[in-house]
Amino acid sequence: MKWSLNLLPLGLLTSFTFAAPVAERQLDLYQFQISCPANKNVDGRFLSISNATLGVFDEATVDPVRVYATESERNGCSELHTYPVGIVDHSIGLVGQPSLLTLVDMVNPREAEPNVGDVTLFNTFRLTDGKLTNDIEGQWMAFPGSGNSWKVKWSDGSAVITADFMMVDILYKSAGEGRYNGD
């Protein structure tokens, strides 16, 4: 009987521990805005995701993508994960031929296997001086799609491309704070 009285406080402590809320981590969220003063159809529009590709789209149901940055294993670079946080990791990445990479939403980027000859990058982004850039040499470009939509790509300047592209800058803007129940 005496030993059960000694266990009572331990039992109460455990029940309070399990009832405690999970610690939340604050995330700084960002949205990406295209800067292209030469083309008013693109300038000032926010990037969103349609069919796993990032760009600007006319669909009324497409909201601007929101991301949070985590430190990359590459010095000074970031990984950009989409928000809200889900069960499956979604990250912004670049996929395609090394000379012209498409900005996409990647599922479980660490496990992604590119097609033969393609490159897959998700940990090479830099957020500096209000702009989103990349650790590899190049420039952002927007290519027209159907209607008034534009898809965003990163070019190192060596690709043979159509003449209908626009050189753009991608600005990052604060999108407030998010919460993440993590370890």
Whether 160 shows a pLDDT value over 60: the answer reads yes
Under 8 Å between Cβ of 45 and 78: no
Q: How far apart are CA 47 and CA 41, in angstroms?
A: 13
Q: What is the DSSP string of 75-114?
A: TT-EEEEEES--SS-EEEEEEEETTEEEEEEEESGGG--P
Tens of pLDDT, residues 45-84:
999 999 999 999 986 567 899 999 999 999 999 999 999 8
Whether 19 shows a pLDDT value over 90: the answer reads no
What pTM does this model have?
0.81
Q: How far apart are CA 86 and CA 81, in angstroms?
A: 10
Sequence spans of domains, the chain: 24-177
Domain 24-177, CATH class in plain words: mainly beta
Q: What is the DSSP letter of 122?
A: S
